[in-house]
């Protein structure tokens, strides 16, 4: 008979930015608590399915079971031109029957379901099979606070949020500037807003909420989430800051042309440029970025994705460049590739960002401020030049600059206006060359030590994960006696 150990089912949103931290969480449950972990992968289309499964399987190192759920057809449910955010939330609802069928075949069935903020419709399956129900927000405490508080704002604020004269107040937390508001909150008549509201309300039906940050990073916000007089009275559920969860790519080798080149560069001398797993820049923005890098006279590694055809910067879900049919880098300015020989390195394939950021030659990161990229930058002690594009990245950029002091910001928001080459070169030199860069580098190093400390035995995130593990084990023992009972909240 198989020895009993708790079995954690993870159901992340499609998209590498969600699957990667879920995988990291799963690996922690396996390595620290000897639990069994199954990750259910949802995909938005066939083309994204194969690639993400390949990357996640490689990164898993066989520590977690990977179950690929069949793609769901949402064409009849949502407009084909709907935003990515809306398509994702609808996909997570439509996947529930397939998820149920898969869980039903598992003997014994998992002990606990941990899903994304937009995955809580799958709680019905957890309830049916006597599983605990948790949410893992692969983001930070401030973003979670806004999600929890939006149902209250919905009742209190009249008219569109974007028309408010004052920043939106969240009890016990930093207020959110109107210009930093993220996509679902920009239009209250849009279905995406309803989905976000629904997600905020459904969080209250969970047994608890995990987030990818650590107490010492956002002490005030974490305290507000727990305080019954502040956000605690809205959520009424325990919160567990379990981060920073950053996971190394399974097949990382730190070899090949890129690493041969990096090995020849001096410490802190190279700017790394990447906009996450799915963002693409407009052609115009890409041109300005290319010239800005050249003008800065700094060495760089740029992970490029073919530009969008329309104006504006976009996100997509494939998790790699869509440039298979283009001339390699033909979209970059004329002569750019030959001018930057020996100075810059341009790649379009999926690369292990953690490996690049951890290389001693990397001295700054031009980043869209996705939360995983931010955590990776902190853990590797690399300052950020904040280039937010969509989702919660504008809030992250504000926090990194004004609260953490580990980033410089652009004068204009890239989501509003093309950032010119002069501005880009100015900000690159500010970190890489000017004295101001030293203070920012010192600050990110302080955060790095705080991050590493949080994960050590006996420290905050370690303890939070251990507390969860105890709850899961207690539930498993109840399941073994075939008498599941609801969890109690102190």
18 is catalytic: yes
Q: Does 373 bind ligand UDP (CB under 6 A)?
A: yes
Output the CA–CA distances (angstroms, integers) from residue 91 to 15, 77, 320, in the order listed.
12, 9, 20
Q: Which stretch binds ligand UDP (CB under 6 A): 12-20, 141-149, 261-269, 479-487?
A: 12-20
Segment contacting ligand UDP by CB under 6 A, of 154-162, 163-171, 366-374, 479-487 = 366-374
Q: Taking CB under 6 A as the rule, which mask of x and - marks residues 17-36 in contact with ligand UDP? A: x--x----------------
Contact flags string 345-364 toward ligand UDP, x per CB under 6 A: -----xxxxx----------
| Binding flags for ligand UDP, 303-342, as an x/- string (CB under 6 A) | x---------------------------------------
Torsion sign over Cα 278, 281, 286, 289: negative
Residue labelled with tokens 């198989």: 2
Helix 16-33 / helix 460-480 crossing angle, nearest 10 deg: 70
**Binder among 376, 379, 476, 479 for ligand UDP (CB under 6 A):** 376
Q: Is 110 in the site for ligand UDP (CB under 6 A)?
A: no
Distance CA 162, CA 138 (A): 26
Residue span 137-156 as binding mask against ligand UDP, x where in contact by CB under 6 A, dash where not = --------------------
Q: Pick from 60, 137, 150, 277: which binds ligand UDP (CB under 6 A)? A: 277
* CB closer to ligand UDP out of 238 and 278: 278
Catalytic site residue 45? no
Cβ-based nearer residue to ligand UDP, 106 or 351: 351
Distance CA 8, CA 112 (A): 5
3-state SS, one letter per residue, for 119-188: HHHHHHHHHHCCCEEEEEECCCHHHHHHHHHHHHHHHHCCCCHHHCCCCECCCCCCCECHHHCCHHHCCC
User: Is residue 289 classed as helix, strand or coil in its secondary structure?
Assistant: helix
Is the four-CA dihedral 322, 323, 326, 332 of positive or negative sign?
Answer: positive
Q: How far is the CB of 479 from ligand UDP (least distance, A)?
A: 33
Q: How many residues bind ligand UDP (CB under 6 A)?
A: 19
Distance CA 426, CA 293 (A): 10
What is the nearest approach in angstroms of ligand UDP to the Cβ of residue 449?
A: 21
Among candidate residues 7, 32, 33, 116, the one labeled active-site is: 116
For position 396 contacting ligand UDP by CB under 6 A, the verdict is no
CA distances 94 to 74, 75, 263, 328, 396, Å, are: 7, 11, 47, 37, 30
Evaluate whether 192 touches 85 at the Cβ level (below 8 Å): yes
From 192-200, 210-218, 282-290, 372-380, give the range in contact with ligand UDP by CB under 6 A.
372-380
| String of DSSP letters for 340-370 | TTTTEEEE-S---HHHHHTSTTEEEEEE---
Beta carbon of residue 249, minimum distance to ligand UDP (angstroms, whole number) = 6
For residues 224 and 385, which CB has a smaller minimum distance to ligand UDP in the complex? 385
Residue 387, CA distances (Å) to 166, 212, 381, 407, 427 in order: 24, 21, 18, 10, 11
Structure token pair of residue 349: 């394939």
- Please pick, from the candidates 161, 193, 371, 462, the single residue that binds ligand UDP as defined by CB under 6 A: 371
> In this chain, which of 200, 276, 414, 437 binds ligand UDP, going by CB under 6 A?
276
Least Å distance, CB 20 to ligand UDP, is 4
Distance (Å, whole) CA 363 – CA 300: 10
- Interface with ligand UDP, residue 59, by CB under 6 A: no
Q: Is 160 in contact with 181 (CB distance < 8 Å)?
A: no
Residues tagged active-site: 18, 116
Question: What residues line the site for ligand UDP (CB under 6 A)?
Answer: 16-17, 20, 274, 276-279, 303, 350-354, 370-373, 376
């Amino acid at each position: 008979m198989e020895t009993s150990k708790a079995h954690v089912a993870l159901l992340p949103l499609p998209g590498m930015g969600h699957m990667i931290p879920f995988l990291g969480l799963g690996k922690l449950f396996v390595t620290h608590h000897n639990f069994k972990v199954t990750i259910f992968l949802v995909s938005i289309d066939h083309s994204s399915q194969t690639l993400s499964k390949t990357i996640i399987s490689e990164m898993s190192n066989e520590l977690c079971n990977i179950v690929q759920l069949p793609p769901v057809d949402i064409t009849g449910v949502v407009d084909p031109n709907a935003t990515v955010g809306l398509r994702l939330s609808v996909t997570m609802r439509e996947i529930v029957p397939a998820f149920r069928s898969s869980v039903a075949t598992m003997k014994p069935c998992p002990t606990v379901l941990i899903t994304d903020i937009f995955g809580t419709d799958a709680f019905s399956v957890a309830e049916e099979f006597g599983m605990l129900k948790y949410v893992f927000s692969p983001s930070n405490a401030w973003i979670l606070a806004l999600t929890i508080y939006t149902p209250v704002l919905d009742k209190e604020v009249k008219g569109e949020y974007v028309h408010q004269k004052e920043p939106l107040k969240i009890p016990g937390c930093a207020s959110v500037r109107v210009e930093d508001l993220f996509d679902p909150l920009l239009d209250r008549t849009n279905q995406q807003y309803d989905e976000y509201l629904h997600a905020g309300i459904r969080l209250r039906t969970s047994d608890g909420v995990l987030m990818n940050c650590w107490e010492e990073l956002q002490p005030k916000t974490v305290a507000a989430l727990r305080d019954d007089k502040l956000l605690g009275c809205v959520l009424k559920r325990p919160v567990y800051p379990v981060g920073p969860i950053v996971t190394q790519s399974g097949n990382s080798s730190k070899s090949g042309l890129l690493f041969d080149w990096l090995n020849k560069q001096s410490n802190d001398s190279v700017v790394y440029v990447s906009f996450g797993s799915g963002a693409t820049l407009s052609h115009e923005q890409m041109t300005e970025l290319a010239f800005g890098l050249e003008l800065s006279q700094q060495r760089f590694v740029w992970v490029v994705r073919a530009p969008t055809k329309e104006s504006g910067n976009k996100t997509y879900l494939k998790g790699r460049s869509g440039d298979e049919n283009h001339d390699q880098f033909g979209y970059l300015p004329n002569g750019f590739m030959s001018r930057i020989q020996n100075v810059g390195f341009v790649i379009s394939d999926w690369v292990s960002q953690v490996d690049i950021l951890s290389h001693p030659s990397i001295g700054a990161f031009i980043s869209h401020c996705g939360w995983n990229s931010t955590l990776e930058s902190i853990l590797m002690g690399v300052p950020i030049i904040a280039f937010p594009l969509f989702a919660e990245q504008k809030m992250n950029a504000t926090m990194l600059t004004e609260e953490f002091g580990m980033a410089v910001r652009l004068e204009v928001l890239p989501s509003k206006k093309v950032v010119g080459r002069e501005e880009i070169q100015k900000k690159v030199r500010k970190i890489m060359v000017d004295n101001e860069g030293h203070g920012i580098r010192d600050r990110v190093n302080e955060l790095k030590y705080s991050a590493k400390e949080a994960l050590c035995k006996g420290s905050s995130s370690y303890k939070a994960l251990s507390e969860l593990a105890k709850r899961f084990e207690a539930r498993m023992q109840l399941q073994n006696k075939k008498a599941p009972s609801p969890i109690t909240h102190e």
